[in-house]
Amino acid sequence: MYTLDDTIAAISTPLGQGGIGIVRLSGDEALAIGRRLFRPATSWRGNGIEPNRLYYGHVVAPGTGHRVDEVLLSYMAAPHSFTRQDVVEINAHGGPVPLREILALCLAEGARLAREGEFTLRAFLNGRIDLAQAEAVLDIIRSRTEAALRMAVAQLSGRLSQRVRVIRADLLHVLAYLEASADLEEDIPPQDIAPDLERARTLLTDLLRESDRGMIYRQGVRTAIVGRPNVGKSSLLNAMLRTDRAIVTPIPGTTRDTLEETLDLQGIPFVLVDTAGITETEDVIERLGVARSRRSIEGADLILVVLDGSERPTEADHQVAALAEGRPAVVVVNKSDLPPASDGRDLLPGAPHVHLSALTGDGLPALEETMLQVVLSGQVATSDAPVSSSPRHCELFRRALEHVLEAQCALGEGLPEDLVAIDVTEAVAALGEVTGETVAEDLLEAIFSEFCIGK
């Protein structure tokens, strides 16, 4: 998977019809293949295809002279390209047939089909970007909110890598002293490494806290809207989305299946799941809907328990609230535009309660603010995006922090320095996995297999 000696080719734009489609080549033969397939519309000027220019012409099948498509061709010479190899891009019309024909000609001329993420992999292996930056490429493609995009762009620019390297350099300095003092006790003056370990602990704690918050921006918050029939769950969904997405009628049981839509709240994607009213019923279809509602609760990160504030809570309301017991939840007391009959305080007393009217929209900002507070555990969603949103990074930061804490304990208990060095070594290795300075091939394969072919 990791050979750099051959030339790869792939369609780098999404499948389907579009205005433009791109076939990309990377490798030593990229320019030669491009020259054999491309016929300029006018005579060449100078020495033919020069770097960093666009050339207008046609892709022509070498064997038959058949014109495949009218194209623009560009050439980026190594090392001034994304992969640090020669790269040729053919901008054609964005239909599947011309793109497949152009790709087939590239393969016939000696290129091989690129694997998933192989262009980005080559950028990493050739030292243009580190592993954290390579992962940011995929995060940019998959970003669902502006905040997630800002976070991924910052990671691609090296913001995360720089902070990781600062911590790793400090720990390498500690490790060098520990190993030298273990080998040459008489020649190494004593050094207090406690401040260095404490600084590493503080910086790692900050990174881990930010990354935990960053995962919320990346993965979103699955939010189940639950309640008995006719309390206004679908009306609440429509009100939060500011559009009529769900069917709303006075007839109980209108919603018989789950309905999902994404709401962007200060950069955090909340996946709202409108569920069927939870009740005892003999209707087979309704029972299936209720079963799906229960599964939605089980898989939710946040539960909105909706009550009808114009009525006293029923036994069904208490049964629904019991399903959310011990889970992150907000009690939404709906229909505040009607005379109140209950404040709902006896249901989920430990959860925040918000009064609103899904009909008029009164109280919606308070609900949205409460949802953010619950999800962020009291932290404020700021315009400064966290440095990382990767579960892999979170785990590595956690592992590095645990080893730094173990090293501090060993140092504080006066244990031999070679034992302290073991944990410092493990912390250094964990941080090296973030940027790819220490990484196994199977991990690279796992990461880059998530990319699409052509990127």
- Taking CA atoms, 193 is separated from 13, 83, 174, 392, 420, in Å, by 52, 41, 6, 29, 11
Task: Say whether domain 8-128 belongs to CATH 3.10.129.10.
Answer: no
Domain ranges of the chain: 8-128, 137-214+390-436, 220-375
Burial call 138-160: b when 16+ CB within 10 Å, e when fewer:
bbeeebbbebbbbbbebbbebbb
Residues 95/21, Cβ–Cβ less than 8 Å? yes
Residues 373/404, Cβ–Cβ less than 8 Å? no
* Distance, CA of 414 to CA of 273 (rounded, Å): 55
Residues 164/434, Cβ–Cβ less than 8 Å? yes
User: In this structure, what DSSP letter does residue 53 have?
Assistant: -
pTM: 0.74
* Contacts of 356 by beta carbon, 8 Å cutoff, 6+ apart: 236, 332, 333, 334, 336, 362, 363, 364, 366, 367
pLDDT in 10s for each residue of the chain, 455 residues: 567 889 999 999 988 888 899 999 999 999 999 999 999 988 766 667 899 999 999 999 998 889 999 999 999 999 999 999 999 999 999 889 999 999 999 999 999 999 999 999 999 999 999 999 998 898 888 887 787 888 888 888 888 899 999 999 999 999 988 888 776 655 667 788 999 999 999 999 998 888 877 777 777 888 988 888 888 888 899 889 887 654 444 544 444 445 788 888 888 889 888 876 655 544 444 455 456 666 777 878 899 999 998 989 888 888 888 888 888 899 999 999 999 888 888 888 889 999 999 889 999 999 999 999 888 875 444 445 566 778 888 999 999 999 999 999 999 998 888 899 999 999 999 999 999 988 788 888 888 888 888 88
- Within 123-265, strands assigned E span 221-226, 259-265
- CA dihedral for 275, 280, 286, 289, sign (positive or negative): positive
- Taking CA atoms, 451 is separated from 59, 153, 352, 446, in Å, by 28, 17, 41, 10
- CA dihedral for 246, 249, 252, 254, sign (positive or negative): negative
Q: In the CATH scheme, what architecture does the domain 220-375 have?
A: 3-Layer(aba) Sandwich (3.40)
Residues 316/228, Cβ–Cβ less than 8 Å? yes
- Output Rg (C-alpha) for the chain, integer angstroms: 29
CATH code for residues 137-214+390-436: 1.20.120.430
